[in-house]
Amino acid sequence: MQQQITNTKIVMPKKPTGLPNESNFKIMNEDLRDLNEKEVLVKTLWLSLDPYMRGTMNRIDEGEVMMGEIIGEVIRSNSENYKVGEIVLSKSGWQMFSISDESTLKKVDKRISPLSLALGSIGMPGLTAYFGLFRIGKIKKGETVVVSAASGAVGSVVGQIAKEIGCTVVGIAGSEKKVNYIKDELKFDYGLNYNYEGWEEELRSIAKDKVDIYFDNVGGYISDKVIENLNIGARVLICGQISQYNNKEQELGPRNYWQFLSKKSRLEGFVVYDFEEDFPEGIDYLVNLKNKNKLIFKETIVDGFENAPRAFLKLFSGENFGKLLIKV
């Protein structure tokens, strides 16, 4: 008889109004049942923390496990496709152990090193950048690309891919430290600090009527100002709206639709999992980019599963830098 496994999980006891706080999270324990046919027991090694999770808090029921993606190790298996000891990706959420049907798991590509990159620059954030630029943005050499939240997990890869293609890249971030990082280490052509008075004029001097692709991770006022500088035929990619996630009332907008009319431009939102069948293509590209030393990454790693709520809240205060991960 196998030893009973006790799982620790973090649930949402009540929905947040506006910015979440630690009262919106609760740590609970439960004994796990035995595996059914084609099920796998996974022990979490890494938990990804991402801004989109704030939106999922509005959609899940109170008392449910917080949603999220993990890297884990198979420790028991009733599946012929997954063996004990294999490393997998799972969308099992904020818990230390999870029982998953084999159809919901994916093996981590063995070329990905360090392993944490499977949740970062060669995982969902990096794939978001890849498919956004190539499939939605139809990026071309010589274009001007502007990306907001430019030092973040998605934005940093957007800029590096665009540089590899041969584009002029303008990154927007929230501190001088982050701006220096995207210019000095990631080799963006320009970096703008949106907390600096006059950044709007600086953007206009760099890119007036020249923005071919705007990769929007934040929404709000920053996006308003970028959209004022679109080129004819520009593509605006809506990837995230972190400036809006904690609003108690929904903002009106878009406020400058006429720009899309006058510039004959396109606005399109997308979710990376729409391209899940093609993920191997994106992983190949990103692995090759890293092997050429053209995919630089920064990670903020927090030790201890119990620290996930406090770490998650830092995504909305500007304290986080790069990809945020919990090492379990």
- pLDDT exceeds 50 at position 245: no
Given a contact cutoff of 8 angstroms between Cβ atoms, the answer to whether 233 and 264 are in contact is: yes
Question: Which pLDDT belongs to residue 1?
Answer: 60
| Alpha-carbon gap, residue 90 to 100, rounded angstroms | 8
Q: What's the start-to-end Cα distance of the chain, in Å?
A: 27
| Main-chain phi, psi angles of 12, to 5 degrees | -105, 100
Q: Indicate where the chain has its CATH 3.90.180.10 domain(s).
A: 6-120+298-327
pLDDT in tens, 46-74: 999 998 899 899 999 999 999 999 999 99
Q: Which residues are registered as beta bridge partners of 10?
A: 27
Question: Which pLDDT belongs to residue 249?
Answer: 60
The helix (H) or strand (E) run that includes residue 43 is strand 39-49
| Alpha-carbon gap, residue 196 to 302, rounded angstroms | 29
**3-state SS track over 120-162:** CCCCHHHHHHHHHHHHHCCCCCCCEEEEECCCCCCHHHHHHHH
Cα torsion 268, 173, 273, 306: sign: negative
Question: Which pLDDT belongs to residue 246?
Answer: 44
pLDDT in tens, 39-49: 999 999 999 99
- Please state which CATH class domain 124-273 belongs to: alpha beta
Model confidence at 257, pLDDT cuts 50, 70, 90, reads confident
The helix (H) or strand (E) run that includes residue 210 is none
| Alpha-carbon gap, residue 33 to 6, rounded angstroms | 10
6-120+298-327, superfamily in CATH? Medium-chain alcohol dehydrogenases, catalytic domain (3.90.180.10)
pLDDT in tens, 195-240: 999 999 999 999 999 999 999 998 888 999 999 999 999 999 998 7
| Main-chain phi, psi angles of 8, to 5 degrees | -110, 130
Q: Indicate where the chain has its CATH 3.40.50.720 domain(s).
A: 124-273
Q: List Cβ<8 Å contacts ≥24 apart for 14-18.
A: 14/62, 15/57, 15/58, 15/62, 16/57, 16/246, 17/248, 18/246, 18/247, 18/248
150: its two tokens = 């430019």
Question: Which pLDDT belongs to residue 251?
Answer: 61
Q: Which residues are registered as beta bridge partners of 276?
A: none
Q: Are strands 190-193 and 168-173 parallel, antiparallel or unpaired?
A: parallel
Q: What pTM was computed for the model?
A: 0.92
- pLDDT exceeds 70 at position 254: no
pLDDT in tens, 89-102: 999 999 999 999 99
In this structure, the number of other CB atoms found within 10 A of the CB of residue 302 comes to 18
| Alpha-carbon gap, residue 148 to 282, rounded angstroms | 22
